[in-house]
């Protein structure tokens, strides 16, 4: 089913996206009245804004991934990666302080790191923590929640804790490489990848530049089609769901957490700007649900789930989402109780 979906669904939706872009450029409406004029205008703005917001981060991610492929050897990755599992997990959780990438650009980088020899469980920890545990996101969250600065501290702390627990569980129970099988990959034992992907470094400076552009373009087009797919679905859902529906869940103690996490998943907003969306619901939702929104969304959302499915095994992706969701709910609830 997933193969059929990605094989035929993506090109079909891509064609729909091209039609929508043509309608936006020509300032025309759909011939069928699926949306009224206001909803259609809202859809146009959301669809374009999601793509424009994510585009530079995906571009940054694939360029960084290509630089890793060409200039960083497998031996160097293995040398600087901690061998101790606890140290490795902490290393992955704090790596975002040095390389503060948005979730849109994380997947190609993490895939490249795992292929070059980084243990898979450390790469996943970086994938989860990196979009949140970094100075840019901390600053944006602190700015958005000036009246409640503890939200910024809580967000960093909970994201760090969730990613560390996930990493330790993966180290303990993961027995095979979570990446989809390619000729460049072999089996992982306890997350220790043995790879034969040496890349094409070329000879001389021009050869290296050519290799960088080649790797970057391949990964950009591979990831970009799923970004468009996710942006299209996200814009449709955001257009359909009314704000009154959101507030109706605020008085439900447990479902408010579920709803805000699902809302973050659907919105698929970059981690550098989602705090401003969350702050608009300050006073409607309690501290815990807002915290769950801010932690779960950057770790797992609609558009990066589609990109995860192109990189990792389907069973692994859904297990990772479920595990992250459960830990986020528990952590957000405990944080609200003790604050």
pLDDT at residue number 59: 77
Burial of 37: CB neighbours in 10 Å, binned 0-12, 13-18, 19+: exposed
Distances 39 to 36, 221, 280 between C-alpha atoms, Å: 5, 30, 21
Q: What is the pTM of this model?
A: 0.71
> What pLDDT shows up at residue 74?
67
Q: Residue 1: what pLDDT?
A: 46
Alpha carbon distance 304, 321 (integer Å): 11
Question: Are 324 and 300 within 8 A, CB to CB?
Answer: yes
Q: Per DSSP, what are the bridge partners of residue 193?
A: 188
Question: For residue 188, what is the DSSP state?
Answer: E
Write out the two tokens for 110.
């993490």
User: Is pLDDT of 27 > 80?
Assistant: no
Cβ 123 vs Cβ 171: under 8 Å: no
pLDDT in tens, 63-104: 877 777 777 776 777 788 888 999 999 999 998 888 777 776
- Quick one: DSSP state of residue 305? H
User: Whose structure tokens read 């528990």?
Assistant: 330
Confidence class for position 254, pLDDT limits 50, 70, 90: confident
d(CA 101, CA 134): 8
Contact present, 290 and 260 (Cβ < 8 Å) = yes
Spatial separation of the C-alpha atoms in residues 52 and 37, rounded to whole Å: 23
């Amino acid at each position: 089913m997933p193969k059929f979906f990605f094989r035929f669904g993506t090109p079909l939706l891509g064609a729909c996206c091209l039609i929508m872009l043509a309608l936006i450029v020509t300032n025309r409406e759909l011939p069928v009245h699926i949306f009224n004029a206001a909803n259609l205008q809202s859809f146009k703005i959301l669809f374009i804004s999601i793509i424009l917001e994510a585009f530079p981060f995906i571009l940054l991610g694939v360029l960084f991934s290509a630089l890793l492929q060409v200039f960083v050897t497998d031996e160097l990755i293995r040398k600087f990666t901690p061998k101790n599992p606890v140290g490795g997990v902490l290393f992955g959780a704090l790596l975002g302080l040095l390389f503060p990438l948005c979730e849109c650009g994380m997947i190609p980088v993490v895939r490249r790191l795992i292929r070059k020899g980084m243990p898979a469980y450390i790469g996943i920890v970086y994938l989860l923590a990196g979009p949140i545990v970094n100075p840019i996101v901390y600053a944006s969250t602190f700015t958005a929640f000036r009246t409640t600065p503890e939200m910024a501290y809580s967000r960093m702390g909970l994201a760090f804790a969730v990613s560390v627990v996930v990493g330790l569980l993966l180290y303990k129970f993961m027995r095979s490489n979570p990446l989809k099988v390619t000729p460049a990959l072999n089996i992982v034992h306890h997350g220790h990848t043995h790879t034969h992907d040496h890349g094409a470094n070329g000879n001389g400076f021009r050869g290296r530049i050519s290799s960088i552009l080649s790797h970057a373009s391949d990964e950009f087009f591979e990831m970009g089609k799923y970004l468009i797919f996710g942006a299209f679905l996200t814009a449709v859902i955001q257009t359909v769901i009314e704000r009154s529906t959101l507030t109706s869940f605020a008085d439900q103690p447990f479902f408010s957490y579920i709803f805000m996490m699902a809302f973050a998943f659907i919105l698929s907003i970059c981690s550098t700007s989602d705090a401003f969306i969350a702050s608009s619901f300050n006073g409607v939702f309690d501290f815990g649900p807002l915290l769950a929104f801010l932690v779960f969304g950057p770790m797992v959302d609609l558009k990066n789930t589609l990109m995860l499915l192109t990189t990792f095994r389907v069973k692994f992706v859904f297990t990772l989402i479920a595990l992250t969701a459960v830990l986020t709910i528990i952590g957000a609830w405990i944080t609200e109780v003790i604050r």
